[in-house]
């Protein structure tokens, strides 16, 4: 039975919140009364959603599961990771490649070959190896390695801004493809499966998919707001690019910090419950069945 009573306020909450973020990203040109009004509506709608889910027999999302650290910590990490990287790699860097004044002056097609394409291919190649490595080292540990690598990649991007090194641009694009697309995203998706409760195995993967989408949308609002705020009045210079990349860098550091809140899965199989994970945390190394996932 579909929980349509719960769906309506949830859709209103998420939709108005995303619209508010998009409007706020315009900064000086934003309609701030509209932004505030939309946020108020989002808060009210989510409150209604929470109350409805507590009262219905078959809730769309059980609130007791939302309160668990295995849920909110993973979703927070996913949103922050996507927010920190997505708009930088899919917006700021291609724009820099095509900028004929302070960038590389490439056409749209050449820009794609030097940035988006190698980034995507690197992620495609590394993803399977990252998954195998996670089976030995643990998903959370490999996630942190990928996030640290993404932080380093964004820091290196700052060196590319204002330079004429196309090979540097290519190298940074490949590096972020390895660390973010090939490692970070794969680990976040895997943890969504491993940490999902047995009684509802599709619960966390579904929410995590929404967190990916929310982070992607939020990324363009936040990163471009930072870029706009730091761009020179005449629109020239490299300050805006620096501002956008630094904003992504700060958010990625927050994502790294949030990743330490994610509990380790109890077993390598999907559907390990958060309660089982908590019990495993209390076991000694000698008693733990799967120490590799620590």
For residue 126, what are its two tokens?
Answer: 């590394």
Please state the rounded mean pLDDT for residues 8-17: 90
Q: Are residues 18 and 94 in the same domain?
A: no
Q: Are residues 286 and 237 in the same domain?
A: yes
Per-residue pLDDT, 94: 92
Give the CA radius of gyration of the chain: 21
Q: Which residue has the higher pLDDT, 96 or 284?
A: 96
**Half-sphere exposure for 120 (CA within 13 Å, toward CB):** 7
Please state the rounded mean pLDDT for residues 236-247: 89
Per-residue pLDDT, 217: 83
Q: Are residues 118 and 71 in the same domain?
A: yes
Per-residue pLDDT, 115: 93
- Is the pLDDT score of 128 beyond 80? yes
Q: Are residues 55 and 73 in the same domain?
A: no
Please state the rounded mean pLDDT for residues 228-233: 82
Q: How many domains does the chain have?
A: 2
Among 37, 61, 85, where does a domain finish? Answer: 61
CATH number at residue 201: 1.20.1250.20
Q: Tokens 């590799």 label which residue?
A: 292
Q: Which residue has the higher pLDDT, 251 or 206?
A: 251
Q: Are residues 44 and 109 in the same domain?
A: no
Q: Are residues 31 and 148 in the same domain?
A: no
Per-residue pLDDT, 267: 54
98-102, 115-119, 176-180, 196-200: least confidently modelled range: 196-200
Q: Are residues 88 and 47 in the same domain?
A: no
Per-residue pLDDT, 266: 67
Neighbours of 286 (CB within 10 A): 6
Predicted confidence band of residue 29 (pLDDT cuts 50, 70, 90): confident
Q: Are residues 226 and 157 in the same domain?
A: yes
Q: Are residues 141 and 256 in the same domain?
A: yes
7-11, 121-125, 221-225, 276-280: least confidently modelled range: 276-280
Please state the rounded mean pLDDT for residues 229-234: 80
State residue 261 phi and psi, 5-degree precision: -85, -15
74-78, 114-118, 275-279: least confidently modelled range: 275-279
Per-residue pLDDT, 73: 95
Q: Are residues 96 and 124 in the same domain?
A: yes
* Cα separation values, 58 from 61, 62, 200, 210, 246, Å: 9, 8, 12, 20, 44
Task: Tell me the pTM.
Answer: 0.82
- Is the pLDDT score of 287 beyond 70? no
Domain assignment of residue 28, given as a range: 1-61
Predicted confidence band of residue 214 (pLDDT cuts 50, 70, 90): confident
Per-residue pLDDT, 232: 77
Among 61, 80, 113, where does a domain finish? Answer: 61
% the chain with pLDDT above 70: 89
Q: Are residues 93 and 115 in the same domain?
A: yes
- Give the 3-state DSSP-derived string for the chain, with helices as H, strands as E and coil as C: CCCHHHHHHHHHHHHHHHHHHHHHCCHHHCCHHHHHHHHHHHHHHHHHHHHHHHHCCCCCCCHHHHCCHHHHHHHHHHHHHHHHHHHHHHHHHHHHHHCCCCCCCCCHHHHHHHCHHHHHHHHHHHHHHHHHHHHHHCHHHHHHHHHHHHHHHHHHHHHHCCCCCHHHHHHHHHHHHHHHHHHHHHHHHHHHHHCCCCCCCCHHHHHHHHHHHHHHHHHHHHHHHHHHHHCCCCCCCCHHHHHHHHHHHHHHHHHHHHHCCCCCCCCCCCCCCHHHHHHHHCCCCCCCCCHHHC
Q: Are residues 28 and 79 in the same domain?
A: no
Rounded-to-integer distance, Cα 198 and Cα 180, Å: 29
């Amino acid at each position: 039975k579909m929980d349509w009573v719960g769906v309506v306020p949830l859709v209103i909450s998420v939709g108005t919140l995303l619209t508010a973020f998009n409007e706020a990203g315009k900064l000086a040109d934003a309609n701030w009364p509209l932004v505030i009004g939309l946020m108020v509506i989002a808060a009210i709608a989510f409150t209604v959603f929470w109350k409805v889910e507590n009262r219905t027999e078959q809730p769309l999302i059980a609130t007791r599961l939302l309160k668990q650290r295995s849920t909110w910590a993973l979703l927070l990490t996913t949103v922050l990771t996507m927010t920190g990287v997505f708009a930088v790699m899919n917006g700021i860097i291609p724009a820099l490649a095509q900028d004929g004044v302070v960038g590389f002056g490439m056409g749209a097609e050449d820009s794609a070959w030097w940035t988006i394409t190698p980034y995507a291919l690197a992620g495609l190649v590394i993803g399977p190896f990252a998954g195998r490595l996670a089976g030995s080292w643990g998903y959370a540990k490999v996630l942190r390695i990928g996030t640290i690598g993404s932080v380093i990649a964004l820091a290196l991007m700052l060196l590319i801004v204002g330079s004429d090194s196309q090979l540097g641009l290519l190298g940074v694009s490949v590096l972020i493809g390895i660390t973010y697309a090939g490692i970070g995203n794969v680990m976040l998706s895997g943890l969504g499966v491993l940490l999902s409760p047995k009684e509802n195995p599709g619960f966390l993967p579904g929410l995590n998919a929404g967190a990916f989408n929310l982070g992607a949308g939020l990324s363009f609002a936040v990163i471009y707001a930072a870029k706009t705020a730091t761009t020179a009045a005449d629109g020239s210079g490299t300050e805006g690019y620096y501002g956008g990349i630094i904003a992504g860098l700060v958010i990625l550091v927050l994502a790294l910090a949030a990743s330490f809140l994610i509990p380790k899965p109890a077993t390598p199989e999907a559907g390990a419950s958060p309660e089982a994970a908590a019990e495993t945390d209390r076991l000694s190394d000698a008693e733990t069945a799967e120490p590799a996932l620590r």
